[in-house]
Amino acid sequence: MREHPGIRAVLPQRYPMLLVDRILELDPRRSIRTVKAVTATEPCYAGLPEDAEPWRYHYPPALLIESFGQSAALLWLDGHAPAADDGLTLMFVGATEFVFEGGVLPGDVLIHTVRLDNVIAGTAFASGETWAGTRRVARVTTLVATRRPVPHLTGPADASAVAAGPGPAQRSREGSR
């Protein structure tokens, strides 16, 4: 088991977008089980009016995907932070068949089970499920993540790069399909 400092050491995300609380099990290059506890103090609930309908307390699917993706990244990076100076940015490329099977509410403790299916040319392919207790709330056939150089995120905009148009990484898919 690995606690939060071990996660912060590997993932670049920070509050409020660091969405993995704990690593339960890590079988290097094969699988990982992580925990994300959803609470009513999450920023996504901050703006809800007093008379908000119950469904508005459902945890946003986009954040669940992000949490799953961060778990996949922890598995892919094998719990070790990449060299800070390698100039590569970890990014979510997309997912195929990300299926939501049940709602998630404040108080639910999500368990992500992620399998690393393949790593080709610096791009990782993962699959798995998310559970809330004995309920499976989501599953995904393929989630794709990559590490690519993204100059505009690490320094001032380069006029020549902008003129040349978006590179492959910037044009990559976002969200699920």
Task: Tell whether residue 165 is a contact of another protein (CB under 8 A).
Answer: no
List the interface residues with another protein, window 55-114 (CB under 8 A).
93
Task: Tell whether residue 171 is a contact of another protein (CB under 8 A).
Answer: yes
| Binding segment (CB under 8 A) for another protein, from list 29-37, 106-114, 116-124, 154-162 | 116-124
Task: Verify cis geometry, omega within 30 degrees of 0, for the bond prior to 16.
Answer: yes
Task: Tell whether residue 159 is a contact of another protein (CB under 8 A).
Answer: no
Shortest spacing between CB 123 and another protein, in angstroms: 5
Single out the residue of 13, 89, 142, 176 in contact with another protein (rule: CB under 8 A).
142
Single out the residue of 118, 149, 161, 175 in contact with another protein (rule: CB under 8 A).
118
Shortest spacing between CB 139 and another protein, in angstroms: 16
**Strand, coil or helix: what is 47?**
coil
How big is the chain, counted in residues?
A: 177
Query: Of 146, 108, 107, 102, whose CA–CA distance to 124 is shortest?
Result: 146
What are the backbone angles phi and psi of residue 110, rounded to the nearest 5°? -85, 135
Residues facing 140 on adjacent strands: 98, 128
Task: Tell whether residue 117 is a contact of another protein (CB under 8 A).
Answer: yes
Query: Which of 8/115 has CB closer to another protein?
Result: 115
Asked whether the CA dihedral 16, 17, 18, 20 is positive or negative, the reply is positive
**Strand, coil or helix: what is 37?**
strand
Query: Which of 89/109 has CB closer to another protein?
Result: 89
List the interface residues with another protein, window 120-139 (CB under 8 A).
120-121, 123, 125
Q: What is the rounded CA–CA span in Å between residue 39 and residue 131?
A: 16
Which two three-digit tokens encode residue 1? 């088991």
What are the backbone angles phi and psi of residue 64, rounded to the nearest 5°? -65, -40
Task: Tell whether residue 154 is a contact of another protein (CB under 8 A).
Answer: no
- Residue ranges binding another protein (CB under 8 A): 93, 117-118, 120-121, 123, 125, 142, 144, 146, 168-169, 171-172, 177
